[in-house]
Structure 1
Amino acid sequence: MLSPRERTIVLSTCFLSVVVAGLDTTIANVALPSIQKALHAPISGLQWVVDSYTLVIACLLMFSGSLADRFGRRRTFQAGLGLFSLGSLICGLAPSLEVLVAGRALQAVGGSMLNPVAMSIIAATFTDSKERARAVGAWGAVAGLSGAAGPVLGGLLVGGLGWRSIFWVNVPVCAVAISLTRRFVPESKAAHGKRFDPLGQLLVVAFLGPVTAAVIEGPRHGWGSPFIIALFVLAAVAVAGLTVAESRRAEPLVDVRVFSSPAFSGAAIISVVALAALGGFLFLNTLYLQDVRGCSALHAGLLIFPMAAALAACAMISGRIVAARGSRPAFVLAGLLLAAGTGLLTGTGHGTGTWYLVLAYLLFGAGFGLVGTPLTHTALSGMPRDQAGVAGAIASTCRQTGGAIGVAVCGSMVVGGSGGFIESSRTAWTVLTGCGIATALLGLVSTGRWARARAERSARRLSTHALEMTR
């Protein structure tokens, strides 16, 4: 039994992992223009700098969770910190775009072992339900603060020390976390470790990788080129294979049966759509502020900060709305605010007023802050308790996938547009406005009476199936 002091240290160690993983997303976006100039990278190359991170995490989240349950959470957590640190070091020393993208992918391999495994460590360390709730709440607050601080810290580092410093800063933080983990975090495993599913993992990669590559490379190769068509065909075959293969396994990597719940399916689609809006927003806005308006990295970070602050504030408000009124009002309000923020950004140009930008950022940040709690609540509603971990892992994968798709789609529109950045980005902003509207509409559908009734029936079937598999 750990003492209160030791439990606090364990929690603080887990905080370090969410800080480095959370900061790395927003910090990298602020540094994109500097990376573009230093490494002579095309916009498609910048898309890969972002998506090589989110895509690899999306592919490996569920695998890393099962790895930790089977071989030990502390061991996996330490390995994740080590790989993340090594990947950060490679990124900081990268002499070319290709090496930088490879380093980002290695960061993501380590990152897939951090946040999900850290949550398992917190659950194993804080056995009292009230203490665990407080610990998870503090975890969420740190995650929100790290995201809010990312643009400003990134601007300071890029402006003062150069873009490579955003990666170097991870190395000492990871070293401290590894030391604390070795000394204070107890080893824990699941009572029944999930069997590995190599075919399922291969099919997940064969779906997500080609889809993202096709969207990013489509403007350069041509949407009708044999290469792009082959990528889409490979992705379609992988989805079909995944559906057939995973439905026959006793312990699948992706349990397709959970999608029989309309509430869960709706939440999964909203995860993709809403995170696509965030990924596209960060990518487009960074290029607009620094390349079009000529802002420094620090100035761009300060301008984006209202969005992150509104996100953090509304994330706390969202829980109260869901507790009092359910998920539906939160979804609708979130979708409308996302649409309003991105809708305003369709009208930006070279001389757009700062007040106009800040208003759009506040609306967008408030919308995205509201969407997180109803997503989790809806995804887990009607699911049996023994399926909560599976549902959470799939939902997290959908979020990462959505972010990668948002960057890929918006970047491709900017590259393939016939006009300059301003004209091309307006089309992309319009698509992101559609994501906001879709969030509101899908929220209405997935929280209605029909969806709730179907979710309850699906939960009973899943529980019965799980019971039969244990006999």
Structure 2
Amino acid sequence: MQTTSPNIRAVAGRPEQAHSDNTSSRSPLATALALAAMSLGLGVVQLDITIVNTALSSIGASLGGSVAELQWVVTAYTIAFAAFILTAGALGDRLGAKRIFMAGFAIFTLASLACALAPSAVFLIVARSVQGLAAAILVPNSLTLLNHAYADPKERGRAVGFWAAGASVALTSGPFVGGVLIALVGWRSIFLVNLPIGAAGLWLAWRYAEETPRLSQREIDLPGQIAAITALGTLAGALIEGGRLGWSHPLVIVGFVAAAVVGFLFAWREARAPQAMLPLSLFAHRMFALTALVGVLFNIAFYGLIFVLSLYFQNIRGWSPFATGLAFVPMMAMVLPANLVAASVSERLGAPQTIALASVITAAGCVALLPMASDTSYWAIGAQLLVLGGGLGLLVPPLTSTLLGSVDKSRSGIAAGVLNATRQTGSVLGVALFGSLVGGGNEFIAGAHASLVISAAVLLAGAIAISYGRAREPR
């Protein structure tokens, strides 16, 4: 893992004392509470990625909507999340991560209230988009604050483990918490739960987080931002509507062509922009490029399957939101301990080997789920969910720490943005693609099996890529 010198950094043309010198006077409690604020910021974002899946049937019954419209309720959030996250990281570098982080928390809280009050499916999709924008602000800046608070690589690795642990628990407990809230209060309560979390996170960040250096020379790449959201939104739309209209429909074909053209223009722009939103030079570092690739592939599988399994439990098995939430408890139970042991496993095996191992474990869980049918007993698939949760928990800390350690600290904001943009792009593609493959009855099961095969294939591809790439990396 590569890090910059802890003594001096040049910021805006002047030397600045490194953050490790500044933290020496801080109490461990203050640092821990600052870490708690960062964890809440990531946790509330991850909670809203999965908590909505449990409410899909209830939202559809209340507001109306087909499977495609329900996909948009989920995907609108992740599209905005993925598309804006790079700009949000650059904003944090330019204006200060603490300031931007707190703004993101405030916007997320207000957008959650709007979701809870949504009178129609269209209103809910728009409010979810605003939530996704706020999530894009929260995540990279929480990681920037963490990266500046912990200069020592081992301490940072452990801090990332705790940061990821809380978020992973929120991610995997989302279906369970959502099921309980829907059973007791109704689907609108899954958004109201964000209000106290937002208030607590805002206060902790204001009181205990320290502001990062402001890099006034960092500019915002507006043309790149427009191209990114257009390309990702068009691609997701083509995948979602392909399942409804058919893959040979002219509009679907036009959507894929438009996404490819705009994606090419985005890459062309980023290769020539003086202050690129996505500096392509970062990918010249082998481990940076490989961890970003694994992030895409893993999220295609994991988030896509969360969507499919939520529909399976509710629409195929006819389970209530509460029962659906209970079905995900094994997954929830495995993520936290796997997060906590990930740092130790990485120190023993090496981070790339740990990332590859986590991908292989998750792929094995997907293969083991292939016998799933419309009448399969839950006890025949519960162990596989346990494996999926363990794979996720083992992967996130070394993936995050490895990518951050591959760049200069002054670029940690944009690096964190790249990591999360690639992961959320995978989420968008997974939900859009897998959602288009499933239908009703036997068609749903066939689509679910196809989703599992694709998931296993992309996970194994990620494991092979990072293992082979690590072996070829110059010492």
Distance 2:73 2:418 in 1: 24
Deviation at 1:265, TM superposition (A): 2.6
Deviation at 1:419, TM superposition (A): 4.2
- Which residue of structure 2 aligns with residue 243 of structure 1? 267
Deviation at 1:90, TM superposition (A): 1.4
- Which residue of structure 2 aligns with residue 231 of structure 1? 255
Gap change, CA 1:139 and 1:333, over 3 Å in 2: closer
Distance 1:232 1:62 in 2: 23
Pick from 335, 347, 351 the counterpart of residue 375 of structure 2: 351
Pick from 68, 73, 81 the counterpart of residue 92 of structure 2: 68
- Which residue of structure 2 aligns with residue 300 of structure 1? 324
Distance 2:454 2:151 in 1: 45
Question: For 1:191-242, what per-residue CA distance to the aligned partner results, in whole angstroms no more than 9, with x for missing partners?
Answer: 4441111111112112211111110111223323332222222222222222
8 A contact 2:316–2:441 mirrored in 1: no
The SS at the match of 2:426 is helix
Gap change, CA 1:252 and 1:290, over 3 Å in 2: same
5+ residue gaps, structure 1, are 457-471
- Which residue of structure 2 aligns with residue 46 of structure 1? 70
Deviation at 1:7, TM superposition (A): 4.3
Identical amino acids, percent of aligned pairs? 33
Is structure 2 residue 224 aligned with structure 1 residue 203? no
- Which residue of structure 2 aligns with residue 290 of structure 1? 314
Deviation at 1:116, TM superposition (A): 1.8
- Which residue of structure 1 aligns with residue 399 of structure 2? 375
Distance 1:45 1:352 in 2: 28
Deviation at 1:440, TM superposition (A): 2.5
Gap change, CA 1:447 and 1:278, over 3 Å in 2: same
- 316-325 or 96-105, which moves further after superposition? 316-325
- Which residue of structure 2 aligns with residue 465 of structure 1? none
Distance 2:40 2:183 in 1: 24
Is structure 2 residue 466 aligned with structure 1 residue 443? yes
Pick from 134, 147, 171 the counterpart of residue 195 of structure 2: 171
The SS at the match of 2:105 is helix
Whichever residue aligns with residue 116 of structure 1, its letter is: P
Pick from 445, 456, 474 the counterpart of residue 433 of structure 1: 456
Gap change, CA 1:205 and 1:348, over 3 Å in 2: same
Aligned residues: 451
Gap change, CA 1:321 and 1:347, over 3 Å in 2: same
Distance 2:356 2:159 in 1: 29
Distance 2:150 2:297 in 1: 34
Which structure 2 residues correspond to residues 87-126 of structure 1 after superposition, within 5 A? 87-124=111-148
- What value does the CA root-mean-square deviation take over the aligned residues? 2.6
Question: For 1:239-272, what per-residue CA distance to the aligned partner results, in whole angstroms no more than 9, with x for missing partners?
Answer: 2222222222332111112223443333222211
Deviation at 1:16, TM superposition (A): 2.8
Deviation at 1:398, TM superposition (A): 0.6
The SS at the match of 2:319 is coil
8 A contact 1:273–1:435 mirrored in 2: yes
Pick from 328, 332, 341 the counterpart of residue 317 of structure 1: 341
Deviation at 1:61, TM superposition (A): 0.9
Which structure 2 residues correspond to residues 177-188 of structure 1 after superposition, within 5 A? 177-183=201-207, 185=209, 187-188=211-212
8 A contact 2:36–2:204 mirrored in 1: no
Distance 2:215 2:27 in 1: 24
Whichever residue aligns with residue 448 of structure 2, its letter is: S
The SS at the match of 2:328 is helix
Gap change, CA 1:260 and 1:188, over 3 Å in 2: closer
Whichever residue aligns with residue 396 of structure 2, its letter is: G
Gap change, CA 1:446 and 1:389, over 3 Å in 2: farther
Is structure 2 residue 179 aligned with structure 1 residue 155? yes
Gap change, CA 1:10 and 1:378, over 3 Å in 2: closer
Distance 2:343 2:271 in 1: 34
Gap change, CA 1:124 and 1:447, over 3 Å in 2: closer
- 75-84 or 59-68, which moves further after superposition? 75-84
Deviation at 1:142, TM superposition (A): 1.9
Deviation at 1:279, TM superposition (A): 0.9
Structure number with the bigger relative contact order (C-alpha 8 A, sep ≥ 6) is 2
- Which residue of structure 2 aligns with residue 420 of structure 1? 443
Distance 1:200 1:378 in 2: 26
Question: For 1:330-360, what per-residue CA distance to the aligned partner results, in whole angstroms no more than 9, with x for missing partners?
Answer: 2443233222212222211233122211111
- Which residue of structure 2 aligns with residue 259 of structure 1? 283
Distance 1:127 1:424 in 2: 47
The SS at the match of 1:447 is helix
Distance 1:364 1:432 in 2: 11
Deviation at 1:310, TM superposition (A): 1.8
- Which residue of structure 2 aligns with residue 330 of structure 1? 354
Is structure 2 residue 164 aligned with structure 1 residue 140? yes
Distance 2:398 2:391 in 1: 12
Distance 1:347 1:310 in 2: 22
Whichever residue aligns with residue 56 of structure 1, its letter is: A
Whichever residue aligns with residue 124 of structure 2, its letter is: L
Question: For 1:272-298, what per-residue CA distance to the aligned partner results, in whole angstroms no more than 9, with x for missing partners?
Answer: 111111111110111111222222222
Gap change, CA 1:305 and 1:96, over 3 Å in 2: same
Deviation at 1:125, TM superposition (A): 5.2
5+ residue gaps, structure 2, are 1-24
- 433-442 or 268-277, which moves further after superposition? 433-442
Is structure 2 residue 89 aligned with structure 1 residue 80? no
Distance 1:68 1:9 in 2: 20
8 A contact 2:330–2:382 mirrored in 1: yes
Question: For 1:109-162, what per-residue CA distance to the aligned partner results, in whole angstroms no more than 9, with x for missing partners?
Answer: 111121222233344556787876664443233223322432321121011111
Deviation at 1:366, TM superposition (A): 2.0
- Which residue of structure 1 aligns with residue 300 of structure 2? 276
Gap change, CA 1:96 and 1:341, over 3 Å in 2: same
Distance 1:383 1:122 in 2: 15
Distance 1:322 1:181 in 2: 30
The SS at the match of 1:114 is helix
Gap change, CA 1:127 and 1:160, over 3 Å in 2: same
8 A contact 1:311–1:366 mirrored in 2: yes
- Which residue of structure 1 aligns with residue 16 of structure 2? none
